[in-house]
Structure formats: structure tokens, C-alpha cells
Structure 1
């Protein structure tokens, strides 16, 4: 298949690129692990997300909520910030801010025994909402004291995670969640009105009803959330094979329409019109055991999403940055379908490079299609990302972009390619025999094989345009740049291989 586009600069518009807004993590306690820190460092060096969001700030492994018995036998609450400070200090060092998800319930405070995940996050309401709000306020006051008011209030606050699922909130009790939100919202605003608080952090199960009911509840109770949140996954018909989940990718345009419905519902309430909507989790599959996450197919699908999602929401968070993740337990193998952009051993997956590519797309959008986005930077140079989202069809895609330029101009055309043969460490791992626990030497080779393939070419203006040709195999993703160059060869020097 071949697509040809002649770019019209007069049709340029703002590219609402939110690729660097936020990224997900597993439970917060995992940030105490060395491998977690190494993966986050790699992500920040190449992508540089602004926020990071994860579960379990109040789970028992963080140790925040404690109790003791005084001399009269009365139970007295106290708070331990040792691990909280370690995690927040590490985020500060990585130049990433927490997007604070308040959950799950400390076991000693919980009104029930129901838990979720291998690490047993308690998902029941508190025995006492006063105990809950006292803890929330104590944490926020501590964060203000340690990091400064201006910094702390710049951290968004989301109340709970997916309460519309009974595995995350006992009985998916809507009215109980609304009560939790009301108490929490007011407690946070008592600490400082500048804190930005939102919810309901729902996934795509009965989401239309939940969102409408939540907005109606907030309206009736004079609550003015600062933003609204939901999650978005693109997976259907999953089946299990051994330890792993396989499914079908949904039509991405159909999935995008669901987000537009959420936006329309929010704007149907006059007082909430145009307030931010954040997708605080998104990915293809919603299971941390789906090999699609490790694949170039995932990368091409995510590329399509990143080209569009900023048009319907104010920020989005890929779930997750790394494979240090234990919802279903400790993974058995190097590649195991984990959510992460980075595999264990600090090995970037193909989707990692998609975010790195998109983070570079800063400027005026001069082209958007189902297979490419191109922007023009302030200095007049062009860059873009193209992809061949195949849905299993083994058909290559050729794209020809004619970009306007001044007469006589010369250009360096640079490409960074990820496809089945390049920047695809899972293929190299497969060829190695799929070792569950690679040696140091094997990990070093996987990291080397994870790099995109770099190609360059010199191009020249013809009839007012420079023409860039891209060849993409099945599910390939390519980043490209066109920079004007001055040809200044030294007298008598010739590159031998170019003069055969």
C-alpha cells in the first residue's frame, strides 16, 4: 500500500500532544526496590514524564497508618512517614511529581477484610470516615512541610481506583464511594484550597451511568471537583493460555468515541463544562500477563492513540512505566506480557520508543492521518512519527510526504525505526531460546538489541518541496526529522563508500 501527501503549511494547527503528561506505576511500595528506580531513571532520561500515578499509598507495606494503646486502653492513631519520604524523595530526584491516588485502606482502619491482588490491598470502606480524613490531612500536611506548599499543591489528588468494579471497591457500592469522595474532597480542601481533587477514576464498566450519577451527586452536594478521571483499555475477548492472556485489539476509533461520550456527559453539567478530563490509566490489554504489551503491534497501536487522545482529554497516563509489578505475583520470566514500557533488566520495549518519539513532536501540526503525524518546529524543521497498524495483515506501507521548503535547500533526513527486526528485544530473546532469567551478558545484548535502527539520507529541494519517503513493514513505527543542512565538505575529501 502507498500513501502520498502534499503538505499545506497554511492548514497548520496546534498539536495537543500529551505524551509526557503522566505515567503509571504499580503500588507505591515498589518504589523502594533498586530495579524500579533503575527503570524509572531510564524512562525519565529518554521521555521525561511530568507525573507518576500508582496504587497503594495507604496500603500496609507503606506503613503510614499505625495504632497504639495508651495507659487507659484507648487506641490512639499515629502516622509513620519513613517510606513515604523515601518514595517522594526519589521522585523529586527523578524530576517527576506524584499524581496522588488515595487508596487502598489500611487494614487497621478497614471496615472489612476484602482485598485485591497478590499484595492484598484492602478495598473496603473505613470503619470511621473521621479516621480516614484525619490520615489524609496528616499526610498532606506532612508533604507541605517537607516539600513546600507550592510544590505539594501542584500534585493532583484522585480519590480511589475503579470503584465501579467490585474487586476494587466492596460491592461496587456507588453511594458508599460517593460518600468517600465527599468526605475526602472536603478534608483535602480544608488543608489547602489550592489542592486539585478529582475522580471518580472509573473504568469502562457501566461507565456512562457511573459518571452521570457521580456528577449528579457532586452537583446536589455542592462539590466542585477540579477535574474528572476515567480509565481506558482497548482489549476484548481475552482467553487464557498457560500463564498468559490473549485477546483482540478493538478498533481504535471506536474506543476513542467512548472518551468523547465521557467528555459530553461532563459538559452536560453547566458548572462542570470544560473542566479537565484525565485518562489516569490506559493501555491495550488490562491484564499484566498479555504478550501484546511486549510487541511491536502494541507500539503501532499506541502510536495511533497518542496522535489522537490529546484531542479528547487534557492528559493521559500509560499503565505502566516498568515491569516491576506484582498484581498477579512475581513474574516467572523476562518477558511476560507486563504492562511496562521497560522490561526487567532495564530493557526498553517497542512502546517505550513511541513515547520517546512523540515527546519530540513539539510544534505546529501540519499533517495528521491514520498513519502519520507531522509537526513543524519553531526553527522551520519538520519531524514526525509514522506507523503501520496492521491488525495482523502482513502488508507493508509506503508513505511519501512532500513538505514545502525554500528553493535550493538541502536536508538531512533522519529516521529511527522500530519493527519486527529492529528495536524489538522480544525477538532477540526468542532467538536466544526465551531464557526466563537471562545472564548479565544476555541482558546487555537485549538492551543493545532494543535500540531503534538509525537511518540517514541527504535530500534536496525540488520545485519548492522536499520529499521524504518512508517504508514501514507490518506494525512498524518510525520517527523522522528533516533538518536543513549546509553542505560544507572539506576540499578534496570524499567518503569512499559513497563514491563506488
Structure 2
């Protein structure tokens, strides 16, 4: 039995819900879909997300900048019609865009390099003069349509993960150098600030917390404006080495290696990745990035466990809860990638559960990860400074004055490929006599639609009845808990979590 004790008068500090400040989604064109919009509105209503971020705002499927069909090749046509449709919708559901600037419109490209099924162009502009002109038109249009006061509340992030790629790489988001990305950032920031100096712009939008010191040094040396730092991370980054010298060992075929051999090697590498991933690794990364940001606000505009099918079940939910609670107070925003499996970077998926990034599956059924964010959304706004930690169990205590309650979020989590077992725990609150208590569980038998799908034989295209059964299995419920002398005892399965509320 692992025992944890708090006193009602122990020190507390504010708990800011930085985890629902923003959420990620597939590329911009998917935001024109009705099912996408219905799922995002559900996430806004039930999880409280306030901003959304996506790639591809300037991709050709958005028709922002094109050559006229019957015109001369040097002519350009600008249309913000699709952009307006998306941003109008976001504001209508009380959300705002976290604007990612990219990718390159075909008619401004300097290379033919693209990424993903939807072929976002990853090159720098052939003409920075024309790029500056486009960014200025874009910012001016937003202010004309939505008002200066509104657009000043948005964020403008330049590009996505420019450290993945390079001039000689067939993969990645940026087909040029770090220095050339800094040039792109400088032009983009300058064009935005020329329209209004108070528009918020930042970068370097890198994977694996990369380039932050180099980016800030460049901005200082060139007097380039920067209002915030943005970056991304996944727990396996510590093994893959994205953004550092050994990244090409994973990202690029070896000399003489066929594509089939390369993909098989990547598959085998993935199986072993988690052996070297410590629990809580993202919090360690975050602390380092905050230190490197030199006082600027930090926004993680992409993060996830990246654990494949395990991320759709209890591992994914316990990973989310531990990571978010351990990192509370470190950054301004933490944008989970993504809210939905309506996601076509490799083409549109078809299986209801396939290890996609989303909190909701293709049909809008909540995964265990979605339920984790629901538990977080129920928390109060003061967290006790004291934290309980014993082996693979962490307990976080939160005051919720609005309901005259103290909440305890208990999580039994470990990294994949590491030993973890069921744990018996007790939680005691002293200095007061709770009148009743409830518990809401999230584990292999609670809030686990993945398990129900697997029990069905993993149908690729489930019928309505099967979908209804998976939806029913996705729910958690608040139950009355036995409490005696301010103490509750319960069992936490491996990768399980429970939200205990003691009412005073």
C-alpha cells in the first residue's frame, strides 16, 4: 500500500490550464469539412480548447495565391475566401487561430520539394519581395475583416519544424538551411509588424526543442522582432535525435539500402525506442527549453506520446495526465497534436483505431486521451505545492473552491517497454472532515473504446451498432467512494488514473 497525506492548509499556488490553450489539427483544408467542424466544436465545448493550429494555410488546396487560369504566368491571383471560411467558423465557436505561416504557394516556390499526401511545398520563396507582399496583404486582410483588437490576440508562428530537412534531404519540412529559415522568419516578422507592430510573431517552431539559442542570437544580432518561442517535442526524440547530428540515421536510407530495407529498419528501431525513454522525459525537455528562451513566453505548439496504437488506450491517457501535471507552471501553452484522426498527412486513414494522433477517432468517438483532457478540465484553479510520488504512482492535489472540494489526481504510469504493476494506494486529507467523496476512473476497463473495438475483432468499417458500442465504452462516470477519517483507499491498474474528489 502506497500512502499519501495532505493537510487542508498546506501551501497552494495557481494552476493555470495551459494544456487547453491550444490544440493541433490536420492541414488547413480539412477545416472546411463538416465532420471536422463538428468534432472541433465538441472539443471546444467539453475540453475548453481556445486556439487551434494547423499546417498548410498557404498550400495550393487553399487557393490563397494562384496563377489565373487564362492569364500570363507572371500574373498572380489572391483569394482569402477559404481562409475566411475557416477563421469565421473558429470565431463562431469561440476559438481563435494560432496561425502557422506556411507552406509555400506553388507560384512562389524556389524548389519542387514537397511533404505529405497533400504535397505542401517546403521551399523558401523564389522572391522575398513577393513573399513580403503576400504576408502584408494577408495581415491587412485579417485586420480589415476581424478588427485590430481581435487579431492582436492571435499568434503568428513562422513555418513548421524547419530543422527537419535541409538542402540535401528528401524528407522534412524545410528544404534549406537553418540560416535561410532565419531569413524567412525575419522577412515574415517584418512584414507582419509593418502592418501592425503589436501582432504577435514567434518561432523557430522546431522539433525536439531545437535551434532556440541560435534563433534568439540571430534575432538579437539583426534586431529582428520576436514575441514568443515555439517548439515541439515527443518522448522518443531523445532516441531519434531529430534536429541533431544523428537524425539522418533514422530519416534517410543508408548508402545502397533499398526503400524496403530502410522502412524495415525504421520499423525495428521503433520497437526498441521506448527502452531508452524515461518516464517524465518531456518535463525535463521543457525545463531546458524555458531556460534557453531567456524570459520569452514559451509555447509548445506540438506534442504527443507518438506511441502508436498504445496512445489510443490507457497508456496514452496516463502519459497525458502525468506530463501535463508535472509541467504545470512552466510554459504559457501546450498544444496537443491533434484533436481528431481526420488527418491525411499519409492519406485519409480508415481504421477506427490505428494509433493516430487524434483525441477523437475518425467517427468522433472519444479515445482514452480525450477522457484524460476531460478530467483535467474538471480541476480547480489552485494546486498544492506538495506532490505525492512513489514508484510509478504520482498524486497531485488541487483545491476547487467553487465546489468546496479538494481533488486528487492519481496516476500509475510508466514508459512503454518498462515494468509496471497494479498498485494499492490510500489518500488522506487532514485538518478538515470531508462529508463525502467521489471517484472517476480512467483505465483498461473505464473510458477505453480501443478495448471494445479490439473485442469486436477490429473491424475496419464498423456499422452503426458497433460504433454505438464503442461510444458507450468510451465513457467514464463519477461514482461514490468510501471515505473514513478523511481517507480513501483504491486500486490503480497499470497505466490507470483516478480523479478523487473530497467534498468539505
TM bin, normalised by shorter chain, reads: 0.7 to 0.9
Contact kept, 8 Å, 1:25 with 1:53, in 2: the verdict is yes
Task: Determine which structure has more spread, i.e. the larger CA radius of gyration.
Answer: 1
Contact kept, 8 Å, 1:296 with 1:476, in 2: the verdict is yes
- Structure 2 residue 398 is matched with structure 1 residue 375: yes
Distance change >3 Å, CA 168–CA 192, structure 1 → 2: farther
Contact kept, 8 Å, 1:103 with 1:159, in 2: the verdict is yes
The equivalent position to 2:454 in structure 1, one of 393, 412, 430, is: 430
Cα distance per residue 1:160-191 (max 9 Å; x no partner): 00111113444441111010000000100011
Cα distance per residue 1:8-29 (max 9 Å; x no partner): 5232222344121111011011
- Specify the alignment match of 2:291 in structure 1: 264
- TM-score, reference length from structure 1: 0.87
- Specify the alignment match of 2:364 in structure 1: 346
SS of match in other structure, 2:104: coil
- Specify the alignment match of 1:253 in structure 2: 280
Report which stretch shifted further, 104-113 or 358-367: 358-367
SS of match in other structure, 1:301: helix
- Specify the alignment match of 2:54 in structure 1: 54
Query: C-alpha distance in 2, partners of 1:311/1:470?
Result: 29
- Specify the alignment match of 1:470 in structure 2: 490
- Specify the alignment match of 1:285 in structure 2: 306
**Which ranges of structure 2 fall in alignment gaps of 5 or more residues?**
166-170, 241-249, 251-262
Query: C-alpha distance in 1, partners of 2:271/2:65?
Result: 39
- Specify the alignment match of 2:435 in structure 1: 410
1:332: Cα distance to partner?
A: 3.2
Contact kept, 8 Å, 2:98 with 2:155, in 1: the verdict is yes
- TM-score, reference length from structure 2: 0.87
1:258: Cα distance to partner?
A: 2.3
Distance change >3 Å, CA 341–CA 70, structure 1 → 2: closer
1:74: Cα distance to partner?
A: 7.2
**Which ranges of structure 1 fall in alignment gaps of 5 or more residues?**
268-273, 485-500
Q: How many residues align?
A: 465
1:104: Cα distance to partner?
A: 0.3
The equivalences for 1:25-36 within 5 A come to: 25-36=25-36
SS of match in other structure, 2:425: strand
Distance change >3 Å, CA 74–CA 306, structure 1 → 2: closer
Cα distance per residue 1:310-333 (max 9 Å; x no partner): 333221100000000011112131
Distance change >3 Å, CA 145–CA 429, structure 1 → 2: same
Query: C-alpha distance in 1, partners of 2:183/2:144?
Result: 28
- Structure 2 residue 67 is matched with structure 1 residue 67: yes
1:103: Cα distance to partner?
A: 0.4
Contact kept, 8 Å, 1:105 with 1:122, in 2: the verdict is yes
Query: C-alpha distance in 2, partners of 1:30/1:175?
Result: 32
**Which one has a larger percent strand, Structure 1 or Structure 2?**
1
- Structure 2 residue 196 is matched with structure 1 residue 192: yes
1:422: Cα distance to partner?
A: 1.4
Distance change >3 Å, CA 47–CA 240, structure 1 → 2: farther
- Specify the alignment match of 1:491 in structure 2: none
SS of match in other structure, 1:144: helix
The equivalences for 1:477-492 within 5 A come to: 477-484=497-504
- Specify the alignment match of 2:258 in structure 1: none
- Aligned-residue RMSD, C-alpha: 2.4
SS of match in other structure, 1:343: coil
